[in-house]
Amino acid sequence: MSVHDERNENAMWIADQWKDYEVLDTSKGEKLERWGDYVLVRPDPQVIWDTPRKLREWRSPNAYYHRSSQGGGEWEFFNLPKQWTISYKEFVFHLKPFHFKHTGLFPEQAVNWDWIGEQIRGANRPVRVLNLFAYTGGATLAAAAAGASVTHVDASKGMVGWAKENARASGLEDRPIRWLVDDCRKFVEREIRRGNQYDGIIMDPPSYGRGPKGELWKIEESLYPFLRLCAQLLSEKPLFVLINSYTTGLAPAVLSYMLRLAVADQRGGFVQSQEIGVPVGSRKTGDYILPCGASGRWYSA
């Protein structure tokens, strides 16, 4: 069975279709972002350059996340509501600032949401999708809107509730979505025993974590065995597997290698992996792109 490595000519997969979000500028370890009507300053370890901060928004943001030299940090608020919404195409997301600089959304993932929708719509058949470590549900909404039945799994009850809010706001509350608060590995093991199968699998695993009984997750040691486990859930005619990673040092080529070993060597198909990113400010010519992690994709056609 042949395996194809699709080489994308672009250096990066770029989420450049946003209207409600943009990175206005970057400098001195921080990024200046517009989230709808509000401007935030947040740290970003990729921003290692020291450029003049000419935009006035640097001096009057709605909120500023100050990174601590001891790790972590805290928000400083000036004029920011406790919660607000932004839209991406037909999707609506609730946002709010919470621990470790996050807002409840990773805008760069929009490039993957579009790809997920294309894979499902192009299948022209019923599709079952499993979204693991599913966070606030961007990929779940993309899959459901494209017509798939989705199983959304995250260990955090709060994150699953947040994802449900996003589904309601996007008019997708009546779509066939199973919302599950569960440990992802334990859930996959049970699904294998139950004989359940999926046409698409999405995962956004953490770099480090612990399971409900203290099980240690370190992505460098745990991801490949977990991917092999998930591959057992693929249907007879699977569509895709998508892995997202924000772990420093886990190169896109590593994701490709794992997808070949765990999926493509048995199923054939195509493998692609790239950094993902967002344009910076008015420089939307592709010359200035902020890298925001990596994604690996296996797909059947």
- DSSP-based three-state secondary structure for 260: helix
pLDDT of residue 147: 98
pLDDT of residue 208: 73
Structure tokens at 21: 């979000």
Binning pLDDT at 50, 70 and 90, where does residue 185 land? very high
Q: Is the pLDDT of residue 4 over 70?
A: no
Structure tokens at 129: 């999708």
One domain for residues 280 and 141 = yes
pLDDT of residue 285: 52
Final residue of a structural domain among 68, 95, 122: 95
| Sign of the alpha-carbon dihedral angle for 125, 131, 137, 139 | negative
Least confident of 77-81, 208-212, 228-232, 267-271: 208-212
Q: What is the mean pLDDT of the chain?
A: 92
- DSSP-based three-state secondary structure for 38: strand
Q: Is the pLDDT of residue 214 over 70?
A: no
Closest CA to 294 of 88, 101, 112, 24: 112
**What are the pLDDT digits (tens) for 80-102?**
999 999 999 999 999 999 888 99
* Residue 1 resides in a domain: no
Burial class from Cβ neighbours inside 10 Å (0-12, 13-18, 19+) for residue 8 reads: exposed
- DSSP-based three-state secondary structure for 274: strand
Domain that holds residue 200: 106-299
Structurally, how many domains does the chain consist of? 2
One domain for residues 212 and 86 = no
Where is pLDDT greater, at 278 or 212? 278
Q: Is the pLDDT of residue 7 over 60?
A: no
Cα–chain-centroid distance for residue 107? Answer: 8
**If you search the block for the tokens 């294309």, which residue do you land on?**
118
- CATH number, domain at 166? 3.40.50.150
pLDDT of residue 281: 85
Final residue of a structural domain among 71, 95, 119: 95
Q: Find the distance separating the first CA and the last CA of the chain, reported in whole Å.
A: 14
pLDDT of residue 8: 46
* Residue 14 resides in a domain: no
Strand partners, 234: 198
pLDDT of residue 9: 41
Structure tokens at 284: 């939307």
**What are the pLDDT digits (tens) for 224-244?**
999 999 999 999 999 999 999
One domain for residues 188 and 110 = yes
* Residue 9 resides in a domain: no
Contact in structure between 106 and 93 (CB atoms under 8 Å): no
Q: What percent of the chain has pLDDT over 90?
A: 83
**What is Dmax (Cα atoms) for the chain?**
59
